[in-house]
Each structure stands twice: as structure tokens, then as C-alpha cells.
Amino acid sequence: IMASSFAPPKLADFILTERLGSGTYATVYKAYRKGDTREVVAVKVVGKKSLNKASMENLLTEIEILKTIRHPHIVQLKDFQWDNENIYLILEWCSGGDLSNFIRSRRLLPERVARRFLQQIACALQFLHNHNISHLDLKPQNILLSGSILKLADFGFASYMSPWDEQSVLRGSPLYMAPEMVCRRQYDSRVDLWSVGVILYETLFGRTPFASRSYAELEEKIRSDKPIELPAGARVSRNCRDLLLRLLERDPDTRITFTQFFSHPWVDLEHMPDAESLGKAKELVLKAVQKDQEGQRSAALSLYCSALEHFVPAIHYETDRQRKDALRQKVSQYVARAEELKAMVASDNRLSFEQFKSTRDILRGNTLHFPRYRYIMYTSLPQEESGMEDNDTLDLYQQSLGELLLALAG
């Protein structure tokens, strides 16, 4: 309470207001740009006196990196200034606070929310990886929220590293640090993948894998060679479990690689909500309607399913309430039509096994969000080839629609 009563420093073009938080050598304030726009920003104030050689280098690296990169999931550096006492980083304002507070306020997140968040982190990480930049201090406190958009922040420890560069400086936070940083003091960019695993674990289970009551206990857990296990009774999908355990491999040589991470089916960057989601969905749905009009029911059904997998992220991405509702209504119509087609295809005995197989392959390639869609076609098969009862299939189809409608309502 005492600290917040100190008057914030004066800055030529901005009015600094509430103090948002402070670290070792910086304090962050909310601020308004003077003039008509009254644009809200965050100002990171770094006292020159508090900087030693290492922290000065960190700060210069942060400015250099943020000045040169632009990405929707990385906090934007708008400007930087200095005077006799301080250096000021003027940063994009993120109104939702940090991911740490978000997790704490909800205790743990449903898998589908954790996945949306992870997709955004993966997208930012892919961009950094392509520019040979390692963050080296990924943790929920350094991930900010702007609405439902996540943005990586605090590049104070970030480093330009080629994939083969190794560092030995101890950086970051012990709970999120890869074991090789502590045990070997020898590490490379793969430490970011471990940190992503810890963040995902925390979003799903409300605590980190190395959560401890004392520093001695924490150190013991970090230095142990026991494989990381998920909490007893953890209820997550098979793909999610696979990703978690591969990210949290203690040995960086057996840990999932960046390429494998970006293409992992649970990460599924292909169906990440973004500006292109709606365009992809519309393109597929136009083809579906065309096939539908031509009477090609199974092909139309397959295309409707593929379109729906892009419509759901498109709804998630849309921020305008009216457009979101209009989109939901439209998508509900496509779902209803898919259901009608399902019934027709199920009773259409003219579909040969070979035709079925090719349709099934199309569906299988587009079932990452709604895996039960792969069962849609099974009723068309002769009973001995499908190995499923008609009733089972219809149940599974109904469940998949239930999942889809749940996503539409969310």
C-alpha cells in the first residue's frame, strides 16, 4: 500500500496513473497518451541506478527484440524514451492482466480453454523460433490477456539463439525452468518447450509439476530423474496427455522437438482461431452446398463437417456480439443440414465400401476438434465391415453434435 502512494514519474507525452506491479529493476504503470486520443498504454519504468551490467544488457536485448518484431500474440513495444533517471518502455495495454491471475481466479481451466490458450502461445513461439529468438522466461506472469487474446511479454531474458547455441547463465523462474538449466547449467532453445509444458500443466491442474512447500523440496524435485506424471485421476484427452508428457521430458534430447510441437494434433495450429478462420469455413461451406445441390450427399456431408471445424474457431475469434450471434445462427443451420444428410446417407444403401472408405478418409483428416465425426459414415457400411450397430453410430453422431453445439454456445 505504501509503494502505491509514491508519485509516478513524469513523462512528456503520457500521464502515468496506477502502478500495476514491479520486478527487480522495473515498475509498470498504466498510462494515457496526452491529447485527443487518450490511448491507454503500459509504461515500464526502469531506474538507471538499479541497473547492473547484466540487467542493462537484458534491457537492451528486450528493446532490440521488441522493436524488430510484430506479432498478434506478442506484446507490442510502441516507443521507448529516457531521461536522467529512468528508461521508459511504452508498451501495448493488455486489460485482462496476466495468465497467472486468470488461472488463480478460476483454479483450473477446461481442456478446450487451455487448448485455445496453448494454440496462441504456440503461434507466438513458432514466430520467435523462425527468427532464432528464445524467450527463456516463459511463465504465466509473463503472458498477458487482452480479451481472450494471449500475448507473450517480458523479453528481459530473451536471447537471439540459433538452435545449436548453448547458454550457461541461470535465468528464469525455478518452477518453470527446464531441469537442464539447473542441473547442467548448459541449455539451448528447447528450454522454452519445457516451460510451455509447465504452463499447460498448470492451466489444466491448477498447480505446477514441481509445486513445493520449500526451496529444498523444489530443488530435490528438479534434480530427481523420476519421469513427470499427471495428477491421479487427471481427466484429459489422449492427445493432450501425449503432448504434456512429451513436453515435460527431463532430457532435452528426448523432449518433443519444435517441429513436432507445432504439428502436434492437440496443438492443431491449422484450426486455431484467427483472421483466416471465417474465410476457410466459407470456402468449404460453398463447396458443401454445391455438392448438396448436385445430390452428392456423402461428399456434401464431409465438406460440411470440414467447414464446421473452421466455423467454431471463427465464432471464437469474432469479438462483435451481433456478428457472433449471426454466425452462430448460420452455423446451427449447417449443423441441422449435416444431420439431415447423415440420415439420408445412412439409409442410402447404394454407397459402396470403396466410396465409404474415401469419404471416411476425408472425415478422418478433419476430426481434430470433433473426433466423433469419424463415426458419421459407419452406418453406411455392411454390418460385418463396420463392426458397429446402427444405434451405436447414431448415438456417437448425436454426441458429436452435442459437443459442437456446446462449442457454439461457449
Query: Which residues belong to the annotated binding site for ATP?
Result: 48
- Amino acid 22 reads S
- Please tell me the distance from the alpha carbon of residue 177 to that of residue 90, in angstroms, as a whole number: 28
Closest CA to 327 of 301, 305, 308, 300: 308
Residue ranges of the annotated binding site are 48
Q: Which residues are catalytic?
A: 137
Residue 386's alpha-carbon distances to 340, 366, 371, 375, in angstroms, are 21, 20, 17, 10
Q: Nine-digit cell at 337?
A: 443440414
Kind of pairing, strands 40-47 and 159-160? Answer: unpaired
Secondary structure string (H, E, C) spanning the chain: CCHHHCCCCCECCEEEEEEEEECCCEEEEEEEECCCCCCEEEEEEEEHHHCCHHHHHHHHHHHHHHHHCCCCCECCEEEEEECCCEEEEEEECCCCCEHHHHHHHHCCCCHHHHHHHHHHHHHHHHHHHHCCEECCCCCHHHEEEECCEEEECCCCCCEECCCCCCECCCCCCCCCCCHHHHHCCCECCCHHHHHHHHHHHHHHHCCCCCCCCCHHHHHHHHHCCCCCCCCCCCCCCHHHHHHHHHHCCCCCCCCCCHHHHHCCCCCCHHHCCCCCHHHHHHHHHHHHHHHHHCCCHHHHHHHHHHHHHHHHHHHHHCCCHHHHHHHHHHHHHHHHHHHHHHHHHHHCCCCCHHHHHHHHHHHHCCCCCCHHHHHHHHHHCCHHHHCCCHHHHHHHHHHHHHHHHHHHHC
Report how far residue 217's alpha carbon sits from residue 225's, in angstroms, rounded to the nearest whole number: 14
